[in-house]
């Protein structure tokens, strides 16, 4: 299986690369302890040298911000690629389009050796840039008016070139792997899913709705008047069934927490939505008893196969699907007894 680095270099296109960079930049801000207030993809015509803008203040690019310049080339990124981009960001400042960023990072699958060494030596980088800029045959800024070109040159001479840097691809991948986006981007195995914790002895606050609906189904079927979890636990006719339903609820809760830390939110939401689309047709039918309705929904859930294109599908268990039905009931999207449907 290709590595993430190989996917990035050979299978991603320029748009994919910019989207990937946005995900990485969000993680970078968190990792550095200075979360960006806004990360905006700017690439395209008129971006003026800023593919991704990461803003540290509410002023956006009119305040302090960092520029991430995305270059997805087959060949390593060299000076001939970098210098024109640097001209663009200087020009944007001269034309009052952006403030000059305090950090400007080239994000490319491969950085050429010469450029990489220059970026590690800001004074030499500045010297090389200005030499290329002042060359009589230079094409840098050739489309600028003489006044604008002179202003860009003055700005470059007054700028600390330590603002320019590049990021190593392995480091980018390593940090991106800490995000939920990584497993969606790259077909790697999910990390092992831990076992679900047992259902707690006492009812948790967030269990109130689905427990109430379970008790209503038991009361209707068996002529009982259960009102609390403890009463259900002490009633032999329902105790075993009730215990299994709570176990299923917390299995689904464990799946939700695992998904939260492993995949994008939409991945888990798709599992839940696909199940709901199946069981709502079953729940909507007429039944003599609410318990019968619940049994029919659970049968459908146990027979349901999650979409195999969903990266979570391999770790979804039958008990999760049963528990998800109780989560849906907890969210008032499913109900067992007819009285509660009216």
DSSP state of 74: S
- Residue 101 Cα distances to 29, 30, 78, 129, angstroms: 15, 19, 21, 18
Q: According to the model, what pLDDT value does residue 266 have?
A: 85
DSSP state of 177: T
Q: Give Cβ neighbours of residue 142 (< 8 Å, ≥ 6 apart).
A: none
Residues of the chain with pLDDT under 70: 1, 43-47, 187-189, 340-342
Contact 286, 217 (CB under 8 A): no
Contact 24, 172 (CB under 8 A): yes
User: Is the four-CA dihedral 191, 195, 201, 207 of positive or negative sign?
Assistant: positive
Domain limits, the chain = 4-185, 205-341
Q: Tell me how far apart the alpha carbons of residues 151 and 157 are, in angstroms, rounded to a whole number.
A: 10
* 38-41: strand order across its sheet: 38-41, 52-55, 65-70, 103-107, 164-166
Q: Tell me how far apart the alpha carbons of residues 279 and 284 are, in angstroms, rounded to a whole number.
A: 9
Backbone angles phi and psi of 136, in degrees to 5: -60, -30
How far does the chain reach from its first CA to its final CA, in angstroms? Answer: 54
Q: According to the model, what pLDDT value does residue 265 have?
A: 83
Query: How many degrees, rounded to 5, is the angle at CA 328 between CA 322 and CA 329?
Result: 95
252-301 pLDDT tens trace? 999 999 998 888 788 899 999 999 999 999 999 999 999 999 999 999 99
User: Is the four-CA dihedral 259, 264, 265, 266 of positive or negative sign?
Assistant: negative
Q: According to the model, what pLDDT value does residue 228 have?
A: 94
Q: Tell me how far apart the alpha carbons of residues 284 and 334 are, in angstroms, rounded to a whole number.
A: 9
Angle between helices 265-283 and 236-262 (to 10 degrees): 150
């Amino acid at each position: 299986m290709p590595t993430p680095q190989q996917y990035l270099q050979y299978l991603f296109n320029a748009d994919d690369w910019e989207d990937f960079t946005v995900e990485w930049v969000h993680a970078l801000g968190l990792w550095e302890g200075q979360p960006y207030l806004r990360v905006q993809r700017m690439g395209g015509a008129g971006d003026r040298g800023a593919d991704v803008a990461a803003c540290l203040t509410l002023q956006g690019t009119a305040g302090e911000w960092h520029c991430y310049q995305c270059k997805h080339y087959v060949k390593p990124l060299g000076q001939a690629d970098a210098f024109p981009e640097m001209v663009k960001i200087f020009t944007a400042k001269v034309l009052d389009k952006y403030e000059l960023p305090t950090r400007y990072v080239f994000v490319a699958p491969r950085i050429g050796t010469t450029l990489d060494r220059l970026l590690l030596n800001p004074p030499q980088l500045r010297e090389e840039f200005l030499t290329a800029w002042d060359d009589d045959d230079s094409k840098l800024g050739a489309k600028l008016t003489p006044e604008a070109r002179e202003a860009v040159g003055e700005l470059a001479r007054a700028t600390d070139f330590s603002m320019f840097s590049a990021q190593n691809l392995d480091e980018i991948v390593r940090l991106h792997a800490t995000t939920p986006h990584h497993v969606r981007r790259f077909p790697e195995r999910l990390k092992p899913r831990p076992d679900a914790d047992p259902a707690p002895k006492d009812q948790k606050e967030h269990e109130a709705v689905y427990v109430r609906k379970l008790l209503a189904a038991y009361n209707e079927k068996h002529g009982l008047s259960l009102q609390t979890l403890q009463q259900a636990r002490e009633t032999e006719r329902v105790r075993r069934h009730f215990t299994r339903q709570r176990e299923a609820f917390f299995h689904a809760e464990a799946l939700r927490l695992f998904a939260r830390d492993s995949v994008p939110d939409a991945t888990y939401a798709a599992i839940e939505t696909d199940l709901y689309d199946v069981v709502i047709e079953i729940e909507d039918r007429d039944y003599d008893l609410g318990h019968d309705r619940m049994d029919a929904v659970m049968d459908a859930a146990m027979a349901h196969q999650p979409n195999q294109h969903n990266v979570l599908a391999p770790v979804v268990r039958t008990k999760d699907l049963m528990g998800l039905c109780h989560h849906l009931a907890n969210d008032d999207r499913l109900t067992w007894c007819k009285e509660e449907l009216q």
